[in-house]
Chain A
């Protein structure tokens, strides 16, 4: 349950991050250069996909009745954390997505 919940949070954060980085001004905010159009398309697609995965994980944790309720909360909160981190520690905001492979590793090996 807690692992699935954590996965739902991480995927929601990754999704919000990818959608955010798919926007010109926020990509520039982190990397100080413009975003190639191809990268932007990939980021946006990956963002929506990650949000969908987050929904699946929330539904695994709570079932399909309660899962979507949690999913909305998780997306909102992940988005707000991202918005608050970006202006202060932009690289950290992006780096947090590194927790996702760690979570995946735990899922596989633990």
Chain B
């Protein structure tokens, strides 16, 4: 037990931060990249043309294709081209078990698009860590609690929170690292707290199911129906009689007038008297996350059957918190704010991890320290490199894999994911066999080169892909500067890797 309250808090912050910081860094990096998941999807599937086709034309072509090829299917799904994802995609069957086909929005013909996990991988990894079943969700939830604890203990042990609010002293070794860690944490504290807390709220029913268990006997569906999210009863008899499908375009216009931009629609029991058209809004029309909401129209008469539900205060509160985390609202300026704030969170965590080693380097890196302490110090150092630089390398490695793996490869998505984890593992091994500073420079340098090099794959005629390449280029240059600075940091052992935080914060 430590002597004082502050010392206990410092102990918790140091060790909790180190041991869980490695995975937290991975969660924050993938979460930050997931802000631009659709853009990354588009970049990773170069066969999808940039559209410029109106949603009405695209919808007509999609229905034309489905009438020709899938007239008997029980359910049609259509994802329309939007600002962020210009592809046109049609699917049949369930949302989970269906098959999807990409169409050329200009001609309405099917096009071959390579299988790719896309930016969705970052999104999924962000809350599952690619673990099976629900385990990842629980692990990430536990890590979010640790993050909250680290934030609170960090506030407690930061004695000069207001006095050093604007303080950063570069080129002073450990002092600079601590200053940067403090400044990036304190100035972005609203963001750190918000993103961590709202992250926990998303899966509140998984983490704390007691309420639903007690009131609805554990029946989540009954709980959602009580919120007014119930699906309309499907008219079973009518679904067997043939019917003439109404034109969907005026309905799209009607829904757009009510809900804002539209992301796509579903037609249940098409070509029957019981056809239903469900039109989904884009997620970003308001803060509250509108996932699962739709306006439902009769597929034959075109009559509005049910509008989107108005949430009551409690579910609305939860939806708004979830929406704050998903960052789908407010257009590109807001998206960039989230991206930059997220990136700074990552650097904040990384600077804390490095600080751990900078602080102890003098004591343990020398031959005079006892062997076991030196070994543990080395483990921390290797993990720092492998989980910070190595993860960044793995992320850009995934982008390269999506373009380099043969298009016709079976289970291509699986190989992309293997490439991601393979690169990460190699980076950890590399960190284990190289001297620490060399390992930092080599991994950061390689990451920088791969980021800048994304342009070689072409496809620059398309604004979205251009944006991805340009953004990767800028990040690559920044990482390159960090690598350069580590390489040329003053060799004086006392001030080891001084000043690196400067570029990292840029």
Residue pair A74, B337 in contact (C-beta under 8 Å): yes
Residue pair A77, B337 in contact (C-beta under 8 Å): yes
**Chain B: which residue is nearest A21 at the CB level?**
B166
Contact with B along A58-88 (1 / 0, CB 8 A): 0001100110011011101101101110111
B321-343 residues at the A interface, CB under 8 angstroms: 324, 329-331, 333-334, 337-338, 340-341
Chain B contact residues (Cβ within 8 angstroms of A): what range?
20 to 34
Chain A contact residues (Cβ within 8 angstroms of B): what range?
20 to 34
B167 within 8 Å of A (CB atoms)? yes
A87 to B166, CA, bound (A): 10
Residue pair A83, B183 in contact (C-beta under 8 Å): yes
B170 within 8 Å of A (CB atoms)? yes
B284-317 residues at the A interface, CB under 8 angstroms: 286-287
Residue pair A62, B334 in contact (C-beta under 8 Å): yes
B150-189 residues at the A interface, CB under 8 angstroms: 165-170, 183-184, 187-189
How far, in Å, is A34 (CB) from chain B's closest CB?
Answer: 17
A16 to B416, CA, bound (A): 45
How far, in Å, is A93 (CB) from chain B's closest CB?
Answer: 10
Contact with A along B340-373 (1 / 0, CB 8 A): 1100100000000000000000000000000000
B505 within 8 Å of A (CB atoms)? yes
B202 within 8 Å of A (CB atoms)? no
Name the B residues within 8 Å of A65 (CB-CB): 286-287
B191 within 8 Å of A (CB atoms)? yes
Residue pair B330, A76 in contact (C-beta under 8 Å): no
In terms of DSSP, what is the predominant structure of the interface of chain A? helix
The winner among B166, B169, B344 for most chain A CB atoms within 10 A is B166
* Partner pick for B287 among A5, A66, A83, A87, CB 8 A cutoff: A66
Given A5-B333, A70-B333, A80 contacting B344 (CB threshold 8 A): yes
A49 within 8 Å of B (CB atoms)? no
B190 within 8 Å of A (CB atoms)? yes
* Partner pick for A84 among B168, B329, B330, B337, CB 8 A cutoff: B168
A2 within 8 Å of B (CB atoms)? yes
Given A65-B286, A73-B341, A87-B169, A80 contacting B187 (CB threshold 8 A): yes
Name the B residues within 8 Å of A23 (CB-CB): 165-166
Name the A residues within 8 Å of B344 (CB-CB): 77, 80
B357-393 residues at the A interface, CB under 8 angstroms: none
The 4 A-B residue pairs whose C-beta atoms are closest, nearest first, are: A73-B337, A79-B187, A20-B166, A76-B188
Taking beta carbons and an 8 Å cutoff, which residues of B are in contact with A?
Answer: 165-170, 183-184, 187-191, 194, 286-287, 324, 329-331, 333-334, 337-338, 340-341, 344, 502, 505-506
What are 24 A-B contacts with C-beta separation under 8 Å?
A1-B331, A2-B333, A5-B333, A61-B333, A62-B334, A65-B287, A69-B324, A69-B330, A69-B334, A72-B190, A73-B340, A76-B188, A76-B189, A76-B191, A76-B341, A77-B188, A79-B187, A80-B183, A80-B505, A83-B168, A83-B187, A84-B168, A84-B505, A88-B170
